Structure 1
Amino acid sequence: MRFLILLLIFVSSNAFYEEKASFEVVHRGKSIGVLEAVKEVVYKKTVYRNQTNIDTRVITKIEVNYGYNVTFDRLGLVEASARIKFNGKQRTNAFTERKGEGYTFVRDNEKPEELNQDIKYSTVKLIFEEPKNISNVYAEEHGEFHTIKQIASNTYRKTSPDGKENTYYYKNGILEKAEIDGGVIKFQIQRVDNE
């Protein structure tokens, strides 16, 4: 009986933790979508799920759906999928998986690429964890590493190899807003208080 009670205490204290974050997507002062993110800790794994839906008209109609599902354990990234649709058509379908000491990255059914670098921090973590003492970020969509540096107090700039820059603003370790260069469209995300 004592063992069962200890087991139940251990399982209940280590089994599940969930955190949610919601952001409004803003372009030129107008709300054009939402970003919903969830961080779940289940036993020794942390799963990040991120869904962004954008619907606007610039010169023509733009409808973009970003979906990320990323798992980390104590060693780093386990696996990551990034799926992006543009105006209803698949634009990106990327998958990263840990294989032995490295990773395999596959995008849009192309030939797999080998990545021989540890992945401890990726773009989905930017929603939930201020990147203190982090110098590079793995981009799940592209299978590449972006540099990140602190440019002011609680403010960080992430730069991709092709020069696109995103800026992230934190307060008390929590992401408040970000300026994003999404390629097709530049936009901001602003935290929505969940009550």
Structure 2
Amino acid sequence: MNSLFRLLFITFTVAVLFLQAKAQTNTFEVRIANHAVGTIEANRKLAGNAKSIIIKTRIQIMLSKINSDIANEYSNNVLTTAKVSRVSGKSGEDKQTTIHRNGKEYTIIVNGAKSVIDTEIEECVADLYFMEPRQLSRVFSETLGRFLPVKSLGGGVYELILPEGKKNVFKYENGILKQVEVNHTLGKAFFVKIS
């Protein structure tokens, strides 16, 4: 009887912990000119009122490497901190962004330049890897430290409009991100979901 009780208790505890901390990982292959050049691994963990998203991008094009890391923390569906680091090998385009919530304001530091905004941040670009932006007209770019417009093109396709006028296109099927088309200085790149 004691071992049955212990087994039930352990099973119940594991089930509760699993429900409290749900994790999801989406992996994308980065393709340029129809060649695989890297991967993006997007991880999201939910635990009660807390959410964290970590996105690791690893790209190698000939002799150039690009490593990018995004780490967002949320409480009650509101961004509390974000840190972005991008190291671009030979190109010299290294970027660092930190975002911290202080009461109702955010302190944003992009490559040493500090700014403050007093608008609550709920959805970021990293969230687009896990949810279709059906009711959104904008998301916050952790990398750029500013809000960017999102435009629905219909059929699960959305444009994220960048400050210089370029557009990244996000394509969803049944609410799941399947592909991102990115217009970059190196040309067009595609992030294609592989798992």
- Secondary structure of the residue aligned to 1:190 is strand
Q: CA deviation at 1:11?
A: 5.3
> Could you list the runs of 4 or more consecutive aligned residues of structure 1 that deviate by over 3 angstroms after TM superposition?
7-11, 182-186
- Secondary structure of the residue aligned to 1:12 is helix
Question: How far, CA to CA, are the matches of 1:113 and 1:182 in structure 2?
Answer: 26
Counterpart for residue 131 of structure 1: 133
Counterpart for residue 162 of structure 1: 164
RMSD of aligned alpha carbons = 2.2
Q: Give the aligned residue type for 1:98.
A: R
Counterpart for residue 28 of structure 2: 23
Deviations 1:45-98 (A, max 9, x none): 1100000111013xxx33111110001121511111110000166701100111
**What are the equivalent positions in structure 2 for 1:41-190 lying under 5 Å apart?**
41-57=46-62, 61-87=63-89, 91-108=94-111, 110-183=112-185, 186-190=188-192
Question: How far, CA to CA, are the matches of 2:82 and 2:185 in structure 1?
Answer: 21
Q: CA deviation at 1:14?
A: 5.0
Question: How far, CA to CA, are the matches of 1:107 and 1:64 in structure 2?
Answer: 18
Question: How far, CA to CA, are the matches of 1:30 and 1:152 in structure 2?
Answer: 28
Please report the TM-score for the alignment, with normalisation by the length of structure 1.
0.87
Gaps of 5+ in 1: none
Deviations 1:87-124 (A, max 9, x none): 1667011001111112110122x242101212111000
Question: How far, CA to CA, are the matches of 2:19 and 2:48 in structure 1?
Answer: 5
Instruction: State the number of aligned residues.
Output: 185
Q: Which sits farther off after the overlay, 14-23 or 25-34? A: 14-23
* Kept after mapping to 2: 8 A contact 1:178/1:189: yes
Please report the TM-score for the alignment, with normalisation by the length of structure 2.
0.87
Equivalent residue for 1:38, pick from 16, 39, 43: 43
Gaps of 5+ in 2: 1-8
Q: CA deviation at 1:9?
A: 8.5
Question: How far, CA to CA, are the matches of 1:185 and 1:63 in structure 2?
Answer: 16
* Kept after mapping to 1: 8 A contact 2:51/2:77: no
Q: Give the aligned residue type for 1:92.
A: K
